[in-house]
């Protein structure tokens, strides 16, 4: 069964690519950044599991006329609205930040009425500071047709949404599952904590749970303690460093590390590489207090949307001897589990912005595959149940 999707805030294509790998055929992807749009266009032509007839809509999500897509029986609407209004590194203005695109996301869902939606954002959205607004976002997604009135504040709208949610209604409604995850627990070589808000339309069978973790720090620590990890990478004793914040089930697969992710790539140089796309050394990396880089034998820190000078040095590798260097574009793309042939357009800073803003491809695949399978099973069960209006009366 082919599932149709629409992607909002598509960026460089991490969530879009993972969704496509999960069997969701995208009708359209909306993105305003010119370089990210170029990336989507090129990889669509290269057929990196992106549908060749994918329409890349360049522009503001709020300007899109969704009426044309409402007739296309869209199964999934997905996207990661800009995280700056909720990021711990930003001003945390939430509803007062003009970059808050959750209202636009909700309007698209209201217009298209997909069978399911998948929304991703930073873990900071779940902070106590945003408790009321996060509740508002969740209720708006659950009741997308219950729009704010002219002049109504979001807090006033929240009270109406709470009242509607407590009473049975006939409007379009979604059953919501909210989950905070660490991408490292799902096979991504990066500590990236994100919140997913996943909704299924009320006519879809409700029994769905978020996929269980497949990897753990405890399992990685076990392979380092018993020497298997070091032997596999041929790391001499003098270069071994235990930098883990271990946890989780030791019977799962080991977390993937920076060393795992960049295996097979040569040391970069300023001239680049003929064999490897975008594998060019960027000079100037250095450490200072609070800016220490990502240890090579642990999952990387969460990559940030920028090149030089990101707050914790997340875009640098730190070796056991204390030396550091910047990730090349190709290495950073591997931290986000993009395929090696996936092309990203723009200067180093622009490309690192696309990578840093992306949903890790493998995490997207795991989540979207579970959502897609649930929709397929629900559809099959619905077809298997006879229509009572066609049954005879005994």
Cα gap 91→47, rounded to integer Å: 39
Q: What is the CATH number of domain 3-212+359-380?
A: 3.40.50.150
pTM, 2 dp: 0.91
Cα gap 301→266, rounded to integer Å: 22
Cα gap 160→163, rounded to integer Å: 5
Q: Under a CB-based contact definition with an 8 Å cutoff, are residues 82 and 102 in contact?
A: no
> 29 - beta bridge partners?
7, 56
Instruction: Give 368-392 pLDDT, tens digit per residue.
Output: 999 999 999 998 887 786 655 444 4
The residues, any chain, with a CB within 8 Å of residue 48's CB and separated by 6 or more, are 17, 339, 341, 342
Instruction: Give 148-176 pLDDT, tens digit per residue.
Output: 899 888 899 999 999 999 987 778 899 99
Query: How far apart, in Å, are the Cα atoms of 337 and each of 33, 188, 256?
Result: 22, 7, 11
Q: pLDDT tier at 44 (50, 70, 90 boundaries)?
A: confident
DSSP code per residue over 75-106: -EEEE----TTT-TTS---GGGSTT--HHHHH
Q: Which of 13-17, 151-155, 331-335 has the lowest mean pLDDT?
A: 151-155
pLDDT of residue 13: 95
Q: Under a CB-based contact definition with an 8 Å cutoff, are residues 158 and 131 in contact?
A: no
Query: Quick check: helix, strand or coil at residue 304?
Result: coil
The domain limits of the chain are 3-212+359-380
pLDDT of residue 386: 62
Instruction: Give 61-116 pLDDT, tens digit per residue.
Output: 999 999 888 877 899 999 998 755 554 454 444 444 456 788 899 999 999 999 99
Q: Under a CB-based contact definition with an 8 Å cutoff, are residues 220 and 255 in contact?
A: yes
**Residue 266 or 130, more confident:** 266
pLDDT of residue 268: 95
């Amino acid at each position: 069964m082919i599932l149709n999707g629409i992607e909002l805030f598509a960026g460089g294509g991490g969530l879009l690519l993972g969704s496509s790998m999960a069997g969701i055929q995208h009708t359209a992807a909306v993105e305003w950044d010119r370089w990210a749009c170029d990336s989507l266009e090129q990889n669509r032509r290269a057929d990196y599991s992106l549908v060749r007839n994918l329409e890349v809509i360049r522009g503001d999500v709020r300007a899109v006329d969704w009426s044309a897509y409402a007739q296309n029986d869209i199964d999934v609407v997905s996207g990661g609205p800009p995280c700056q209004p909720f990021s711990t590194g930003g001003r945390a203005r939430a509803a007062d930040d003009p970059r808050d695109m959750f209202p636009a996301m909700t309007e698209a869902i209201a217009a298209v009425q997909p069978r399911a939606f998948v929304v991703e954002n930073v873990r900071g959205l779940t902070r106590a500071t945003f408790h009321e607004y996060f509740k508002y976002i969740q209720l708006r997604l659950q009741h997308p047709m219950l729009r704010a009135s002219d002049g109504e504040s979001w807090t006033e709208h929240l009270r109406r949404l709470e009242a509607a949610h407590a009473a049975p209604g006939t409007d379009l409604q979604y059953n919501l599952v909210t989950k905070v995850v660490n991408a490292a627990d799902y096979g991504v070589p990066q500590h990236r904590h994100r919140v997913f808000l996943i909704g299924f339309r009320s006519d879809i069978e409700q029994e769905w749970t978020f996929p269980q973790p497949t990897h753990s720090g405890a399992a990685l620590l076990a392979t380092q303690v018993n020497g298997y990890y070091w032997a596999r990478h041929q790391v001499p004793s003098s270069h071994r460093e235990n930098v883990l914040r271990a946890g989780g089930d030791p019977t799962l697969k080991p977390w993937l590390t920076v060393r795992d992710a960049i295996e097979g790539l040569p040391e970069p140089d300023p001239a680049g590489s003929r064999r490897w796309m975008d594998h060019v050394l960027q000079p100037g990396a250095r450490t200072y207090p609070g800016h220490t880089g990502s240890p090579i034998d642990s999952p990387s820190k969460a990559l940030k949307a920028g090149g030089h000078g990101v707050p914790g040095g997340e875009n640098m590798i730190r070796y056991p001897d204390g030396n550091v260097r910047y990730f090349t574009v190709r290495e950073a793309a591997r931290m986000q589990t993009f395929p090696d042939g996936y092309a990203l357009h723009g200067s180093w800073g622009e490309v690192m912005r696309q990578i840093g803003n992306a949903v890790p491809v493998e995490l997207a695949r795991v989540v979207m595959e579970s959502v897609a399978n649930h929709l397929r099973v629900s559809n099959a069960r619905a077809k298997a149940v006879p229509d009572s209006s066609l049954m005879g009366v005994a």
